[in-house]
Amino acid sequence: MSLGNLVLIGVALFAILGAVGAFTIAFRRSQIDQPVDLADPTAGVSSETLKADKSMSGVRVEPLPVPVVEETVDEVEVEVEVEVEVEVEEPELVSTAIRVVETQRVVEVSPEEAGVTRRQFFNRAMNVTFFSFLGIMGINSLAFFWPKLSGGFGTDVDAGALADVKKQVFASDGSIIPLFVPEAKAYVVPAPANLSEQYIGKQVETDGLMALWQRCVHLGCRVPWCGPSVGFECPCHGSKYSSVGEYFAGPAPRNLDRFTVEIRNGRFIIQTGNIIQTARAPFMTVKYPQGPSCIGASTTSEA
């Protein structure tokens, strides 16, 4: 047998096997496409499978009845939450950095930081007001207690030119009119020719004049001049003094107090810082009273 004959025989066998295979595949497909009997559980199962499953031979499985439930569907409002995903673009790093720098610039120039806040303003205003009040009170208190070094009561008071003072004290008709000096709170009166020994060496008289403190030595009332009696009479409790301040009557414990005096550059100076106190006069160096009393009290001396 030649090689050519062998090839022809092989090709013929190959063609026969191919034809058998194609026929078999076509037959199988024709079986699958046929309608399936739903009552038969083995319908559609291949013959090979049925042959392999010997245990199931002769068993018929009836399909279970499916209960039919009639449901009444009401209208139900169903809230449906829909989640929507929104893509937010994150700021770019470069733009955030720029925004921060801009914010810092605003803070730097803000009055809240660079200036004064409202609370700070009110706190400072209250502090300034409080300490100003304390300062003013302190200055006023210091001024009140500070001793006067010039002018006013407690210092040397200029009562005026000596000639003018004498002209006012000694009236042209020979009467006496004490000169009241408000700044010294004193009366300038004529000094007696026979000055009591109580006043010798105490500088209470100069050039025929003396200065009496207007304050009553009893309880401090202002003692006015009484022209008719030519003396000083206290309206508070009736103490009476002569024209030179010597005690005459009443509860006063001593003569009227007086100040040292001097003539300085032709002017009569009352040294109100030097107060001279003397006991009740042992005798009157001037006549008192010379007329009716102004307060209607006793006109006789109690000494």
**Contact positions vs ligand FES (CB under 6 A):** 216, 218-219, 221, 234, 236-239, 250-252
Rounded to whole angstroms, the Cα distance separating 63 from 105 reads 84
Tell me the closest approach of the beta carbon of residue 185 to ligand FES, in angstroms. Answer: 15
| Cβ at position 178, least distance to ligand FES in Å | 17
Tell me the closest approach of the beta carbon of residue 245 to ligand FES, in angstroms.
13
202 or 254: CB nearest ligand FES: 254
Q: How far is CA 155 from CA 141, 158, 201, 212, 221, in A?
A: 20, 10, 21, 15, 22
Rounded CA-CA distance 13/301 in Å is 188
User: For ligand FES, which is the closer residue by CB, 210 or 234?
Assistant: 234
163/219 with CB nearer ligand FES? 219
- Please say whether the beta carbons of 245 and 189 come within 8 A: yes
Q: Is 53 exposed, middle or buried (0-12, 13-18, 19+ CB in 10 A)?
A: exposed
Q: How far is the CB of 252 from ligand FES (least distance, A)?
A: 6
Contact 166, 209 (CB under 8 A): yes
| Amino acid letter, residue 229 | S
Minimum CB separation of residue 141 from ligand FES in Å reads 31
Cα–Cα distance measured from residue 238 to residue 21, given in angstroms and rounded to the nearest whole number? 168
- Shortest spacing between CB 218 and ligand FES, in angstroms: 3
Q: Residue 47's closest CA among 20, 28, 34, 26?
A: 28
Using omega within 30 degrees of 0 as the cis cutoff, is the peptide bond preceding 91 cis? Answer: no
The 10 Å Cβ neighbour count of residue 263 is: 14
Nearer CB in complex with ligand FES: 210/216: 216
By beta-carbon proximity to ligand FES, the closer residue of 191 and 294 is: 294
User: Alpha carbon of 222 to those of 183, 185, 212, 214: distances in Å?
Assistant: 14, 9, 12, 6
Q: Which lies closer to ligand FES via its Cβ, residue 160 or residue 251?
A: 251
AA identity, residue 38: L
Closer by beta carbon to ligand FES, 247 or else 268:
247
CB of 181 to ligand FES, least distance (A): 20
Written as six digits, the tokens of 266 are 């032709």
* DSSP tally for the chain: helices H, then strands E: 6, 11
Q: Which is nearer to ligand FES, 260 or 278 (CB)?
A: 278
Shortest spacing between CB 232 and ligand FES, in angstroms: 10
CB–CB of 286/245 below 8 Å? no
